[in-house]
Amino acid sequence: MERVPILKIGGVLLVSIQIDLHDQSVLALQEDLAERISATGAHGVVIDISAVEIVDSFIGRMFATIASISRLFDADTVVVGMRPAVAITLVELGLTLGGVRTALDLERGMRILRVLGQESGRIPAGDPTGLEWS
């Protein structure tokens, strides 16, 4: 089974999905991510799905599940780079990802996390980018 790598950039965990997701790898990703957030105390999670072309309802629910898990560790989740076809599919499936933030690309997603982190005080005032903090 392929595992999705989780990269740490400062206080942000980056999950870039480059493989075809199967139900098993989704479950593994959720477990791995929970452990990494807990271990690193990250304030944000970015899920980059710009390479994902096919989604089903299970993957759709994964975003909401990951967001709920992160929320328990006081971290925000942003899903970035969703393709139009994927967005249309999710809407047709009736999944609106309530509670999950979205952004057009990784850069904008990181900006959102920085603003959220600064507003809630999770990023120290001396770290304007939110990336040095760890």
Partner 1 sequence: MAGEAGHVHRLTELLRENADVLIGRWVESAAASTRGRSTSAELERDFRELFTAVLPVASGDGRDLSGNGYAEIRSLLEELSRTRARQNFSPAETASSVFALKEPVFQLVDEQNDQDLFRQVLGFSSLLDALGLWTFESYSRARESIIKEQSEQLLELTTPVVKLWEGVLAVPLVGTLDSARTQVVMEKLLEALVETGSEHAIIDITGVLAVDTQVAQHLLKTVVAARLMGAECTISGIRPQIAQTIVALGIEFGDIATKATLADALRHALRREGVDVVRRGDGVKR
Residues that bind partner 1 (CB under 8 A): 79-80, 82-84, 86-88, 90-92, 96-97, 101-105, 108-109
Contact 63, 31 (CB under 8 A): no
Task: Report the nearest approach of partner 1 to the CB of residue 61 (Å).
Answer: 14
Task: Report the nearest approach of partner 1 to the CB of residue 65 (Å).
Answer: 16
Nearer to partner 1 (CB atom), residue 4 or residue 106: 106
Nearer to partner 1 (CB atom), residue 26 or residue 34: 26
Nearer to partner 1 (CB atom), residue 36 or residue 86: 86
Task: Report the nearest approach of partner 1 to the CB of residue 79 (Å).
Answer: 8
Instruction: Tell me how far apart the alpha carbons of residues 27 and 47 are, in angstroms, rounded to a whole number.
Output: 15
Beta strands in 5-127 (DSSP E): 6-9, 12-16, 44-48, 76-80, 101-103
For residue 128, count CB atoms less than 10 angstroms from its CB and return exposed for 0-12, middle for 13-18, buried for 19 or more: exposed
